[in-house]
Structure 1
Amino acid sequence: MKNIFLVFLAFALQSCHSQNKTEPKKMEPSVKKTKAEWKAQLSEMEYEVLRNKDTERAFTGEYYNHFEKGKYVCAGCGNDLFTSETKFDSHCGWPSFDQAIKGSVIYKKDVSYGMIRTEVMCAKCEGHLGHVFDDGPKETTGQRFCTNSVSIKFIPATE
């Protein structure tokens, strides 16, 4: 009787587990351009980072030590990504935010260079922004969106 109960319990747990395995729907980017169109629009470094997933050198980007009030948008398509209220100094050499604007980014597993990381991309044009790590401020989200300066543009707050 005990064995029948264990078999039933295992079956019930497996049924519940498999029902919750639905993959979230991937949103299609609303900005689609050819390689030539992106190259014509972006600077060489913007193209390399946003379209080819390159990384700018640490401590060289325009926004790594920038703390004015405003918002940060995708340099490729203008999609709102981060607010200045979520920016913090992580001392890593790149702009860091503890959260993105809801729905503004998408995530992808990145196993390049022998590491396992989570890539962060613009949800509107799929431009590469950087990576997200779990070593951000514990008093907020605990996340650190390590972002290439060249992948974003700052829009100052209007008074």
Structure 2
Amino acid sequence: MTDHRQEQSDLQMTGATHTQRPSRRAFLATAAGACGAAALWSLHKSSPLAVEAKGESNTGPVTLIQFSDAGKKIGKVTVPRVVKTDAEWKQQLSPISYDVTRHAGTERAYTGNTWDLHDKGLFRCICCDNAIFSSDTKFDSGTGWPSFWMPIAKENIVENTDSTFGMDRTAVSCRQCDAHLGHVFDDGPRPTGLRYCMNSAAMRFVKFA
């Protein structure tokens, strides 16, 4: 986790909470962060994610909390981990989703299809359909990426240390298929104080019926 000053120079920095409008200073910082993301885009595309796994096998079965498309909790299940070849992922996913989820890329700020989405629904992993976030915890961070103050179930994600770009951040991935989703920071709103800064390209939105 980086401190606030380091976050302002990161790809996904300068989020304002949903409880107040960003100040002029915050707005300028956000713009600077967006420009930085654009400038580093080509570098991040080909940069592998350096993570420190927390002792979890990447081949065995996983235990998740399942949810219906209506957002109703079904219960805990143990399912096979989704493992595919790089060629299979590339065929299944769009170029941006492939780059983000399988090579830890980052979509450009304000370009995703859910950063400004206000519909009620469920966010599922674009690779395996695992439920990862709910609109109930989504907030406007002012960063240009969809942001949440908590996942729909802690069991459905994995948090690892990401040491790319000379800093330590906390990367968030899907527990079922290891897809990179985004990063989590400690500048979010109550009640958790966290900001799960995700990539739209890593998620499929299912609107509540």
Unaligned runs of 5+ in 2: 1-52, 60-80
Q: Indicate whether 1:44 and 2:111 are aligned.
A: no
Q: 1:20 aligns to what?
A: none
Q: Indicate whether 1:89 and 2:119 are aligned.
A: no
Is residue 54–residue 160 contact of structure 2 (8 Å, CA) maintained in 1? no
Q: Indicate whether 1:26 and 2:77 are aligned.
A: no
Partner Cα separation in structure 1 for residue 118 and residue 55 of structure 2: 35
Q: Indicate whether 1:105 and 2:135 are aligned.
A: no
Q: 2:188 aligns to what?
A: 136
Q: TM-score of the superposition, structure 2-length normalised?
A: 0.62
Runs of 4+ in 1 over 3 A off after TM superposition: none
Partner Cα separation in structure 2 for residue 96 and residue 127 of structure 1: 17
> For residue 156 of structure 2, what is the amino acid of its counterpart?
S
- What's the CA shift for 1:24? 6.5
> For residue 55 of structure 1, what is the amino acid of its counterpart?
T
Q: Determine which of 154, 175, 178 is the counterpart of 1:126.
A: 178
Q: TM-score of the superposition, structure 1-length normalised?
A: 0.81
In our comparison, the structure showing a higher alpha carbon Rg is 1
- What's the CA shift for 1:28? 3.9
SS in 2 for 1:51: helix
Partner Cα separation in structure 1 for residue 114 and residue 92 of structure 2: 21
Aligned residues between the structures: 135
SS in 1 for 2:201: helix
Is residue 172–residue 184 contact of structure 2 (8 Å, CA) maintained in 1? yes
Q: Indicate whether 1:156 and 2:186 are aligned.
A: no
- What's the CA shift for 1:41? 0.4
> For residue 146 of structure 1, what is the amino acid of its counterpart?
C
> For residue 85 of structure 2, what is the amino acid of its counterpart?
T
Q: What RMSD, in angstroms, separates the aligned Cα atoms of the two structures?
A: 1.5
Q: 1:147 aligns to what?
A: 198
Identity of aligned residues (%): 46
